[in-house]
Amino acid sequence: MKHLITGGAGFIGCNLAHTLLAEHEQVTVLDNLSRPGTAQNLAWLREQHGTSFQFVQADVRDAVAVQTAVQGHAVVYHLAGQVAVTTSVNNPREDFEINALGSFNVLEAARQATPMPIFFYASTNKVYGGMEQVQIVEQPTRYAYADLPAGVSETQPLDFHSPYGCSKGTADQYVRDYSRIYGLRTVVFRQSCIYGPRQLGVSDQGWVAHFVIASVLNRSLTIYGDGKQVRDLLFIDDLVAAYRSALRQIDTAGGKIYNIGGGAANTLSVWSEFGPLLEKLLGQRIEVGYDDWRPGDQPVYVSDIAKAERELGWRPQVGVEEGISRLVQWVQSNQQMFA
């Protein structure tokens, strides 16, 4: 089976490509290599798999290049995108062009391909916005939902809130409706906080890796808000397993949307709880500064993953402490990547 991964040299993309190649699948990686770390990830894939995969350097905003790349593939994983809320606020036009128009280009290429491929889209929990109508309670080290013990389900109303939410949500709905209108077999994953090796997190995206990298290298850290914001965390291997499960059961998953994250069993507050765990793993005190809350930052976001468990037979296997420990070990062993 031939697989195309847009953004295939990114954090999620290269891990997915690695798994597929290890299973002797045919893989094409499409990436414009604009994000820091993607060139290193591509080199790592070459070290691991040699010339057994094809690389196409292209931008999803280039409709002609995308159409050429998609043709002949049985599965398309659309992972390429602008990934930060703060960047979208500073440059909403570029955010729109990459996330909304770029996704439309990939969708159209899939619709016009013969035969039409299975289409996966990496969406985000940010499509639910700030969820101001959901009651939040404050606890000593975290915020929590008052009435959603399992987290947020796929029935939560969309309320995009930021340019990033708007652009990702636009593509989210386009993907869903291309299934309804054109019969394209699509799956949307509204992903929560994904973390793990080969993630070069920065201050406005990939916060788990960013905190680990900064702490290992003794760089300054700023916590936006009070550090009691809660997220559910999903280790990268478990996300890749979710994609593989959905592909195996595409007759069930086709046309569906799934919240994919660590779920209620794998949550941490971003510093009140994560900080002490990281200090324990590193055996050192970590000093941080604080700044104002950032636009669109949810006090709590936890995915209700019951639908994915029920329909795909999938659930996270890597607990938070084990996953963060594995990430710490990877960062410690690859400090040259972060120079």
Catalytic residues: 164
Structure tokens at 243: 């994609």
Structure tokens at 109: 């290429």
Please name the helix (run of DSSP H) or strand (run of DSSP E) that holds residue 19, with its range, or none: helix 11-22
Residue holding tokens 């790592």? 44
β-partners of residue 55 are 29
**Nearest by Cα to 274 from 231, 333, 307:** 231
Buried b (16+ CB within 10 A) or exposed e, 228-260: bbbbbbbbbbbbbbbbbbbbeebeebbbbbbbb
User: Burial, 92: exposed, middle or buried (Cβ in 10 Å; 0-12, 13-18, 19+)?
Assistant: middle
